[in-house]
Each structure stands twice: as C-alpha cells, then as structure tokens.
Structure 1
C-alpha cells in the first residue's frame, strides 16, 4: 500500500505538478541544536512530530561526522532548506560548531534569493539573555574571546547572529508542557510549509471547486468527530479530490494518515495489515497484534485522545470501516475521517455525517484535461481540434477516460488519431473498461441483469415503468435499482424520475454482452447493432439465447427480415425498434415479450397469432397502425400503451381484456373518431392523454374511472360534449379541456373533489361555469383565459378555499362577485384584456375600473368597493384593461403580499401614489402606457421597473430621485446618463442588487475602466471603511443584429464572484425592442 504524505512532493508522473513560483529544496526544515542538551529529549520529539506531518527534517548529527570544521555538505544542507529551527539551549553558545551553523543560517536568511525562514526556540533560556549574551551565554563568549582574541571578527559575527535570531518571533519553553510545545511548533511549520510545496494536485483541471465543497462539508471549526464521504463512479476523481483536501488541511491535526487502495490491499494482504499500516503511519509502534479484534482495540486506545485526519480511499465493504474507523469515540475531538467509495449505501450504513457526490467535468474542463495529456498544453494543436472534441464527447467528462485516451494519443499523427477513434467505437480501451467493471463485478446475478437491461433498453425511461417491466421478468427491481444507484452505476433524475447512465458505463455493458459470443451474435443474450440484428433475423437464425433486441436508427431503414424472423426467439423479452420498414411483413411476435417499442411501426395491425400474455409495455408512436387488434384480446399484464401520433388510427379496441392498463397515450391521433365504451368504465387507468385528437367529438357514456388522475382533451377541436362524472371520479387531479368546442360543463363536475388543475383556456364556445363548481374544494389552478363568451363567475367560487391561481384573460366577464375576495389562499390573479385598442372582435369589452373602490367606472365594469383583504395575493396582471389613474384607489396599498404588478397598455397619465405604498412590490411593468407622463415614487423594495414605449414621457419631468427604466424611448443620452448617475449615488436599498434598463449606444463615461470583454474585475480599496460605500455599479452594452422585433428578446445573466468563491446571480429577460433599436 502506498501512503501519501507531504514528503512526497515530486510526483513526477503527473505533467502538471510543478510550480514555477516554488523554490525546490531537499529539506523542509534544518534543525540546529546543541546535542548534549536536547538530542535525546526535546530535539528527538520535535523531529518525530515534524516527520509524522510529512515534513522532511535535516539533523546534522545523523548525516555528518562531528569534530570537523563546518563542511560544504552542511552549508549545502542549510542552503537547501525552506526553514531553520534553532533550539537555543543553556550550552548552545559554548559550541563553536553551533555558532558557525547559526552564522550560516542568518546569512542565508538575510539573502533574499534563498529565502530561508528562521524560527528560534528558547529552550530553558531567557530570550533577553540570548539577545544580550548574559548568563551562560556570557560565560561561553568569555571563553571564546580568550581563545580567539578580544576583538576577533569571528566572535563578533557570532554575537551579531545571536542578537539577530533572538529578535525573531519564536517559542519560549518557559511554563509550557514540552509535548504541547512540540506540537505547536510542528503545526506552525506545517501551516507555513503547505503553501510553499508543489502540490500533487496542483493545476489539476476542475478540482478546486470540488475541493472547496468537500472542505465546507468537513466543517473544520466544529469540535466533534466527523465522518465525510466522497462518492462517485470509478474514474471520476474521488481519490484526487480526497488527496487534495488531505494536503490542504493536514497541518491542523496532530496525526494524519492517507490509506490508499483499501479495497485492493485488503483483498491482497488482509485487513490486519492495513490496521498495522495505519498505526505505523501515525508513528505508533504498538502493532504486533495478529487479529482484527486486537487491531481495533489498539487503534481506539492509541487515537482516542488525538486529533486525527484519516483518509480511507476506495472502501468497498462495511467491515473495512468497522475495523479501521468504527465509531466516533475511536478518535479525539476535532478528528476528521474521509472515506472515498463507489457505494453510497456503505456510507449511509456507517452513519457518515455528510456525503459529497462527485460529478463529471464540464465540457471546457474536459477538453482542457484531455489536451494536457494529449498535447502537454492547454489547447489542441492545429489540425486536431475537431478530433479532440470527438474524443472528449466520447468520454462524457470522465477524468480517467480523458487522461488514458489523451496519453494514448499523445505524439501520434492525424491519420493514427482517426484510426484510433474508429477502433475506440468498436473496442473500448481496456484500461478504462477494467476500472469501470469493478463495480459491475461486485453485483449479484440479478443485479447484473438489471444493469444490462437498463444499459441496453431502459436508459431515459421513468423509474416506475422500468420497475413494472422488470418485476414482470421475475426480478426484484426495488432493491436492485437502489443498489445500482448507490454504486454509481446508474443515476436517477430527481425532477422527472428518469433513469440515466454514463455513456462509458453503457458501453461497458455492451462489451460485456459482446464477450458472451464474440463471433456468433445469435448466441448473445442481447443484440443492438444493425449488422448483428440483420445477420440473425434475415437468415432466420434466432435462438433461445436472445432475450433482447434493440436498435435505434437516425434514418428510416428497410429490413428484409424473414416473415417468421421471431419464430425461434422463444425467450425474447424486449423488442425495441424505430423507423424500421418491413416490405415482407411480419407474421408473428413471440408470446414471451415483455416490452414492445416500435416507433414508426409500418404494420396496420399487430400480428397477434399468439396471445401476448407477458407484455407490460407497448409503445407504437408515429406508427401506421389503423386498428391495434380485433375483438377482445386478453393481455392481462399490459400497463402502458402509447400510440401517440399514429395518424391512421381510427378506433380503439375493446379494453375489457386489459384489466391492468394504467397509462393510455393517444396524443396526436388525428383520425381517431371514437373511444370504445369499455374504456370509460376502466378501473385501473391513471392517465388518459387524448390531446390533439382533432376528430374526436365525445366520450361514450358516463365516466366511471375510479383510478383516473389525469385526463387531457386539449386540442380536440371537434370535442363538444363532456359526459357526466360518476362519484368514483374523486381521484382526478388534472382536467385539461383547452381549445375544445364544449358549450357547457356537466352538473356532476362537483364530483371531482380531488381536482387541483382545471384548464379551460380558449374554450370559446363555453357560456358559463356550473354552480356545482363549489364542490371542487381541492382546486388550486383555474384557467378560463380566452373563454370569450364566459360572462360571469359563479358565486360558489368562494367555497374553493385552496384556489391559488385564477387566470381570466380575454373573457366577457363584466362583474366580479364579492365571493372572489373570500379566497385567502389566492396568489395569482390575471384579468389582462386585449393587446390593443377596442375593436369589433372585442366589442363587449369596456374600460376597467379596479376592484378596490374609487370612482364608478363609466364603462359599467363593476367591482365590490369594500373588499381588499387578499392576504396571499402576490401577482396581479391588469394589462390592457383601459385603466386610468382614477381606477387604482388608496385601498391598493393594503395588498401586503403583492410583489409583481403588470399594468401594461393602460391609459395612465400619472401612476397613483398608492403604488409606492405597496410594502413588498419588487416588479412593476408599465410598458406601452402611451399616455404616461410621470412615474410614481419608487417603493424601497423595488428590484425591477419596465416602462418601455411610453411615448408621452418627457425628459423634463424626470425627478432625479426617481427611477427611469426606459427602452427605445425618446430620452436624450446625456440626460439618461446623468439620471442614472444621480440615482446610483442616492441609492439605498435593503435588497442586495438592483438592475435597470436605459437606452443608448455607448456605456456612460463615468463607468471606468471600459473593456470589450464579457467580464470586469473590480478591486475594492483595502482602506475603504465598510460604512462609506454601498456597493458598485456595472454597465454593459447590448448589441443585437437581429432586426425582427419578435426575435429581439434577450436573457441577461450577471455573475458576481467574490474572493471567497461565492457567487450572486442576477437574471433578467429584456422585453421586445423596436426594430430600429435592434442594432
């Protein structure tokens, strides 16, 4: 086993370990001491402590023969050290040897080129006595003067050296415990030493941010013992990160040890040997035990009072942790145990405090690392850029692969690179495969099969669907998938619940199957390449060995397979094809199928000559299927049926024989005219997606689907009649009817007590909502925008206490019931009108007087005058509602939670002052308020104000204490600059940032310095008191070459990186600009 310490500073194997700013020395510390005084006591203890911390120490009594004049070798040792520790004891000055050493040390210290740092230790002597040569030092110099003469230059140089060294900061042994003094000196030297050393991880790509994250998890300021895990797939850099962290913090501990390759060493030499090495590494000699139990006791007894830093690298078994670092009480306060592993469950089972998951490199980092290995430089050589990108893409950011392939291609010409990359796609590099295969080999037989199935067919599928399929195969997928995730062999996207896998792990899985029968594909368990599949099925050479066939093609492919191609594949479980055309047709499918995925299936109906008793998942999207099957077929295990965008599908089969169907996806089946009556009574269907079935007019009979949670009929433009709902429909949570032709809703709507999202957007024929809507007491979102004939909201709305969002844009509603204001949970309210002046298509719309009182609206739009308490309301959209300043009363200020207000396209001349009294308003939009002349006073909470295309705004009416944020308006550049400068000087906000938009073609001159780059470095003066500045201003110029206004949208992101590594992010989307301003 190789143990890493700070003494191993060469690391010549890495091309990026050297540092041009570091002085390379043979020794870290030179010890100068009087042998008879301290050699067998204090000096021995100090030397041992320094060496335990990996600090290389020179002791002249070990390396040079005494009794001679100070030699060239000793002078070289002093000159070749980073630090010198002078142990000034009682008889130190009596030794001419020691004084000569000290004189040479001080000369090297005074030489700026050598940079030797000197630290005195006053051991049993007073620093003042040393400085002034009193006491024993006075006696010693009296003898030196008798020997060398009263005015000897040598003696005077010795005196000067003692006087100088005594003035340096060091340690005084008076009233100190010797053990504590030794530890204090060793720790101080280590802290001073680490920044000077060439690191074994110096200049490694993408490492610093990962190291910083691990250090944050370690929590150095906490006193207790902490276990930290570093987890990730093989070759991703766990050991490198652990080593870098170890280097950075080891000076803070009494004892340190890095145990590398625990898995490999325990398999080769046993755990007892590792226990001995741990103790030996930290300088404990009591390691003559011969069993694990005695080793555990020795480790605990030896380390329980020590502050220890221990790294256990590449751990793969819980018993390794149990025998090396079982419990916290094995170690002293402040100890840190860092564990690297591929198995997350191992860390969880051991009670690790924090776990850091190592991610792959970003693309730019991956290219950088590859180039360092392939070209010994940061960038590709000329002519190699595209080839380098191709290799980097192949590795998917795995550091091991980047280093191995970079080194493999180093120094080779372009033709060889082409050949190597071509070979790589057929035969993976063995060193990479061997490293990745370690985790696979640790699995049991079932787990290996699950891994291979995911690698071949289920990557990118939802976890629940995969588990159902695998369970039908007789596997135990719940525990199997969990173990694969814990061992970093697969991933799970927490957002969409989809399974993923690194590309190189997927390639490893394919290589494992290839090795089952390299020369005969018909004897492999899984087929995936077009050539192998064609070879087997065209010649009708299928065998029972084949359990999976999957082929993904980028282009349509015509295959001349035998009509009985699957006749002999009696064990085939998974069949996954796409864009495959079969001119000869297909006469049968194996009854053993669990999964049938065939995008673009050319068949008009499935050849079900035998019953598909085992199939769980059928996906035939974009197929030519006209009718799935005739009559009743008993397919009891089928759970998922997807026929999306099968435009020839006209009718659905009888689902009576499919009792366990859960998801039915028929999106985009434009020819579908009817649904079989058996479907609306199905008891297991959870999701039914009929979106964009443009020929569908109705559903048959009463809906009695007790398990249904999501029903999507959006885009069914001919759909006019929604059937009644039975009482069993209480689980329905989403009902989407957007764009349908329904004129009314069934009175049984109130049975949908579990409905949370009701989308009626653009139901232009809908006349009203039923009074029974009050039964929707779980409803959170109601969208009736675009229901242009809907003229009122029912009073029962007040019973829906959970309602959070009401979207009612472009409706015919002319009166809001007072019941609306009983909705204490309402957060979003939108009544945006048309996007322009009144026209014939909107002749029902009248000017809008707002809901909180004020003068009566001359247009007749009525709102309650005394209700204003909507405590949760945070967002209001009243754009294009013909509002004037009288429409917004003083009651407006009582909306205490309001953060966003959109008043775009209204008729304000001035904005009422009540806006400035909104305590939490952050975003105010006043775009296209063409009559607007004066802005309101800005609330102190404000972050963003948009007021573009306000044509009546005059620059002479600006108040410098107010904020102007105009785009493409007739404001003069000089006035805008002065306005902005004046505002920034007076800005005092509780929020951390504030951004604004102003027109112009140049950055104002008072922003200095100015550069044509996308970044700016800001140096804050060190002597600037914190109470004398509020922040800094940053300005950039946006230049667009896209002229169409609909394309003139830009999202701006601003990152602030401080010296401590933190970053603040500001994101802003700019509104469309007038074409003449898109330059």
Structure 2
C-alpha cells in the first residue's frame, strides 16, 4: 500500500527536457534482481513503460558508471528499491546521489519502495543501514564528504511518499506500484495527437456522451466517412481518461488486422493487456470466454478502432455483461448499421471541418502556422474548398505543399482538378470496396449523375431500371458514402436530396474514367460533354455504355448545335439516356435495352422507336417538338411523365390505345 506521506510533485518551474527512458530502476542486485525487481520490471513493461536496469540495458565493454549516470539523466522517473543491503553498495549510493541531483535540477520523479526494511530505519539510518554506513566510513575514511553526500541523499529519498512491503502480497505490491507509475506517467507523456483545431469540440461532445464517472457500462460509437477524424477523436479521449480505469486498451486498425491475421489475433492482443498468455487462446470461443471472465469485475476502457464487421464486436466486446461497473467501450466505424446491430445506443457522427477550422488545419501543415503566408491565400482557399473540410485530405495536401514555391503550388492545384490524390483515394475507397455489386452500381450512378437530386425521383429511376434501391441506398448512407439533406422547393415544401462529399464523388467518377482512360466510349457511364464529343468524333463502338446523362447548364442556356448531324454508334447496352437541354439534331439508334429516356426541349419531331422489344418504362420529353414517337408499334410498358408540347391527333390516339399507360 502507498504510505500516508504525501505524493511527490516536481517543481512546476523546471523546464521540459528530453528523455530516453520512462523509468530508471535502482536496486541492490543480490537482494532483489531475480525476485521483486524482476517482477516489477516485467509489470512495467506490460504497461508499455520503458525501463532501464543495469543488467539489461548496458552493452558489454562500456564504462558502466558513465552509462548509468546518463541513463538517470534521461529518465522521467526513478524507482528506488531500498532493500536491506542497498546501502552496502557504493554503486547503489552513487546512483542514489545522482537521482537526487536530477530530481532537484531536472525534475526527475522519485518513487521509493521500502522492500523488507522499515522506512524509519532508512530515514534515520538505523539497523542494516547503520551497519552499512559504518563500513562505508571505514572504507572511505579519507573522503568523509562522499559519505556525507550519500547520507543526505538517502535521507531525502526516505522522506518521500513511498511503498512499504510490510504485510503485502508481493504480486499485489508489484501491480500497485506499476499502476501508480503508469497513472503518474500518462499526463507527462507527449500526446501523439497533433493540434486538434476543429476536433476539440468534437472530443468534448463525445466525452460528454460517454458520461465518464457513472457506474453503468456504456458503449459509444464514433461514426463517419473515411479520413474524417474518428480515430483522432478516440485517441485524444483515450489519452485523456485512461488513467481513470484499471485496465485500458486501444485496439487500432481492427479491419486491417482481421484481414491479415483474423479476429483471434485481436483477442490475443487484448489478452496481453489483461495479462493473459497468448497460448491460452486456441479458438474464438475460448477467447470470448477468457476475456469476459477476466474483465467482468474490472473497470476497463477499450477502444475498438476501425470496426467493419459485427463479428469483431461479438468476439471482442460481446455486451455490457463482459465488463465491470464504470467500464467504457468506444467503437470507431464507417458503418452505422454495425452499431445498430450491436445495440450501441450512444453514437456520434463526425462531420467534416467548417471552412474556418479547415483553413487553420491546412495552414498548420502547409505553413506550420495558423494563417497562409503572403501570396498563398487564394490558393489555400481553393485547396480547402477542394477537400470539403476532410481532415485527411487537408493533412495530405498541406504536407505535400509545405515548403514549395508559388509556381509549384499553381501546378499542384491545377493537377488536383484532374488527378485525385492517390493517398486520399486509398483511404476513401475502403468503404466502396466493402459494397456488393449492386450497391457499387448505385453508388457510381449517384456519383456520376444524381448528386444533389431529389431522393424520391432517384429511387423511382432506379426502380424502373430494375434495382431495389431503398435498401441499397440505406446501406450507402450507413457506410458514410451518401448523405440525405433536406431542401425546400418553390412552394416551400420540404423534400430529401441525395448528397455525397465532393471527394467521394470524385472517387466514383475516377473509377469510371479508369475503366478506359483514353476512350470514353468504352466506359460504363458518360456525363461530360467533352467526353461525349470525343466519342462522337472518334465514332468508336459504345457497347459498354450503360448510361449517358448531360449535366444541366443552368441560367436558361442549352447545348446548342454542338453535335449537329452527328450519328450515335450502336449502344447495345444503353439503359438510361438523358439529353435534357440538348438542342442539336442528332441521329440516335436507340437500343431495345433502353429503360429510361429523358430529353426535355428535344428539337426533333420524331424518335426512332421502331423495335417491338423495347424495355422502356419512362419517357420524359417535356417542352419538346416531338409529334410522333413510333410507327404503330406498341411499347410493352410505357409511362408518360410531364408530357407537353404539340401532338398530332394520331399520336394522341396511339397513346389512348396503350392499356398500361399511366399519367404522372
């Protein structure tokens, strides 16, 4: 047990210093090396504390006294094991004198352990210590000052707060000392978290959500897209509160570890933190049983970082019954559905930084300061806008641009508009790679065509193209790939709009471009007027194209005569064609596979719908010049959406004869 003497605190006026070791162990080898000190060393090591002890750290042939002195100077703490024969060793007394000097001059923290001795005997140098100093005075009689310095050092150490082995079980004593050092050490360690900037408020929000201090067991989910700062938030909270728990463990990169080594490896890592041998784990069931039995009566803090499968949660943190009162489990993930499945009620969605926060964070990487340097303001704003406030992108691009001149910045910013950064895409695509084939198709369609479009209308289009979109879009939302926001129409009626982060949209479009970088006609989707123009100019085969959508120009303007008298090659797999606002007389061979045709303001008077096998389910040709759609052939299923404009009597009569016609 810790003695009643007050805890030692270093002077707040001492300057910070560099260190190599967390703890310097000072002990009399013949008394404790193979017993108490060895166990204490191992316990500190298990807690991630770097120790120095002379029989483990010194290289053969080096002058031991010089190495010891330097090791003491480069340590944050000194644990002094005062055993019965400690003072009989001049070497130990030299160590002790140096430890006291470093305490006074460098702020070294001293933790005395009275092992098999009475603290009063040490302080007043009685018993074995009296005998030891009598012999030292006989040995160094000509250097009384040396012995006096040793006595003074021993007195100073003996009055500090310490640990007494009397009436203590050694295993309990060792663990108590190691935990005490760990608790005092954590606040002194430099944080691995850099300046949080906009993250500070998010850290505070999650900490509040966790309700630290209450006796219940609480799971907290931190959810968001890749690169948004989930791990940074979890790490900052972990470092701030871990000393309040009996056992703490940060299991990082769970997805990656599972892919390479499986969940059993993660159970073994967690087991090491609760002092369970790796060999104890032979299968997942044993791992679950041992983890639960080891932690059910302990107050623990566990972070499960980057979870991507519910089985990971089931095998590492099954439910609240696994942990003792006051325990907290933090889970970071890109998939909200995992948290719902595991019944994690307290969840926090991490959003991107706002413009002010993003600019400060970017500048900290690009200029090592909070504001842009002169001449870089406009380009800095452009990069920040490109990133959309995503911390990962801000960090990557800021670090890349650091130290470069203005011309290099101009070149880099120009490149960003056409070539996405590989490091950023690598992180973002992890969520995409977890999708099934239909989810991937819908994600790419939204990225290429439907970002910012009303959700209901997009769902309707997907249904008419043969998809089951509701559940698939829900998955995209849960995996932080798509968001839903509310908008208001001209009649002040609210409606949902599909959105996604600009970098996710860029990633999706880049995937499509990479299907055929040089030949747009060999891509599955076309949305760029330039790519469409290139396809027509090259007159290449388009058997791979599934969808063509021209983006709206806005401001009442049209695509005028751009492709006049151009003929589209055979598009045998085309399913969705949107030529809204295209005012060019072009020749289209519409394939029978086409399901949806949109062409507002179409300048043609007729469309070549001549095949009886058409799969069309929607035609939208508002405000067009169409007077005839087909030549007497019945379409299997036909929806007319906002049909307007001049129609001949024959066309009107033909529509009336369609048994499946529905008006919208």
Q: TM-score range by the shorter chain?
A: 0.7 to 0.9
Larger RCO, structures 1/2 (Cα 8 Å, 6+ apart): 2
Partner SS, residue 256 of structure 1 = strand
Which one of the candidate residues 353, 356, 360 is aligned to 1:364? Answer: 356
Looking at structure 2, the residues matched to 659 and 22 of structure 1 have their Cα atoms a distance apart, in angstroms, of 81
Equivalent position SS for 1:460: coil
Matching residue within 99, 102, 124 for 2:96? 102
Aligned pairs (5 A) from 1:640-655: 641=642
Alpha-carbon contact 1:69-1:97 (below 8 Å) kept: no
CA RMSD of aligned residues (A): 4.0
The structure 2 residue matched to 1:75, chosen from 69, 74, 87, is: 69
Aligned to 1:487: 479
> What is residue 968 of structure 1 aligned with on the other side?
none
TM-fit CA distance, 1:25: 0.4
2:86 and 2:643 map into 1 onto residues whose CA distance is 90
| Alpha-carbon offset, residue 172 of structure 1 | 3.9
TM-score by length of 2: 0.82
Match 2:450 to one of 442, 458, 464: 458
- Report if the CA contact (8 A) 1:567-1:589 is conserved: no
1:9-20 correspondence runs (5 A): none
Residues 69 and 498 of structure 1: CA distance in aligned 2, closer, same or farther (over 3 Å): closer
Distance 1:591 1:182, change over 3 A: same
Is 1:203 aligned with 2:195?
yes
Query: Does residue 322 in structure 1 map to residue 321 in structure 2?
Result: no
Asked if 2 retains the 8 angstrom alpha-carbon contact of 1:457 and 1:576, the reply is no
| 1:1039-1058 → structure 2 map (5 Å cutoff) | none
- How far did residue 659 of structure 1 move? 6.5
Aligned equivalent of 1:535: 534
Asked if structure 2 preserves the Cα contact closer than 8 Å seen for 1:585 and 1:603, the reply is no
- Counterpart of 1:117 in structure 2 is 109
Q: 1:420 aligns with which of 412, 415, 418?
A: 412
**Superposed counterparts of 1:704-783, under 5 Å:** none
**Which of 181, 184, 188 matches 1:189?**
181
Structure 2 Cα separation of the partners of residues 575 and 22 of structure 1: 67
Is the Cα–Cα contact under 8 Å of residues 193 and 236 in structure 2 kept in the other structure? yes
Q: Provide the residue aligned with 2:122 in structure 1.
A: 130
Q: Which runs of no fewer than 5 residues in structure 2 stay unpaired?
A: 1-13, 488-494
**How far, CA to CA, are the matches of 1:69 and 1:607 in structure 2?**
95
Q: 1:434 aligns with which of 426, 429, 434?
A: 426
- CA-to-aligned-CA distance 1:159-204 (integer Å, 9 cap, x gap): 3223322332333445555545444433433333233222211324
Alignment of 1:359-398 (within 5 A): 359-398=351-390
- 1:601-620, Cα deviation, whole Å (9 max, x unpaired): 36498859679974458485
Give 1 or 2 for the bigger CA radius of gyration: 1
Secondary structure of the residue aligned to 1:519 is coil
In structure 1, what is the Cα distance between the partners aligned to 2:103 and 2:324?
A: 38
Aligned match of 1:573: 575
1:95-244 → structure 2 map (5 Å cutoff): 95-111=89-105, 114-149=106-141, 152-174=144-166, 177-244=169-236
Q: What is the Cα deviation at residue 447 of structure 1?
A: 0.9
Q: What is the CA-CA distance between 1:481 and the residue it aligns to? A: 0.8
332, 336, 340: which one aligns with 1:340? 332
- Partners in 1 of 2:278 and 2:293 — Cα distance? 10
SS state at 1:236 partner: coil
Q: What secondary structure, in the 3-state scheme, does the structure 1 residue paired with 2:33 have?
A: helix
1:239-250 alignment, distance < 5 Å: 239-250=231-242
Residue of structure 2 in register with 1:513 after alignment = 512
- TM-score (structure 1 length as normaliser): 0.52
Counterpart in 2 of 1:85? 79
Looking at structure 2, the residues matched to 379 and 314 of structure 1 have their Cα atoms a distance apart, in angstroms, of: 32
**Structure 2 counterpart of 1:59:** 53
C-alpha deviation, 1:480, in angstroms: 0.6
Aligned length: 629
Pairing partner for 2:248 from 256, 261, 264? 256
Do the aligned partners of 1:551 and 1:578 also contact (CA within 8 Å) in 2?
yes
Q: Take 1:494 and 1:306, find their aligned partners in 2: how far apart are those partners?
A: 45
1:506 is displaced (CA, Å) by 0.9
**Secondary structure of 1:240's match?**
helix
What SS does the aligned partner of 2:358 have? helix
In the alignment, which residue of structure 2 is the partner of 1:892? none
Contact residue 449 and residue 527 of structure 2 kept, 8 A: no
CA shift in 2, pair 1:310/1:106, >3 Å: same
Partner in structure 2 of residue 950 of structure 1: none
CA distance in 2, matches of 1:43, 1:331: 31
* Counterpart in the other structure of 2:522: 523
Q: Name which of 441, 451, 471 aligns with 2:463.
A: 471
Structure 1 residues 350 and 287, CA gap change in structure 2 (3 angstroms): farther
Alignment of 1:1011-1026 (within 5 A): none
Higher helix residue share? 2
Q: Distance in 1 between matches of 2:480 and 2:618?
A: 28
- Give the CA deviation at 1:140: 3.7
Cα deviation 1:473-497 (Å, max 9, x = unaligned): 1111122111111211111226742
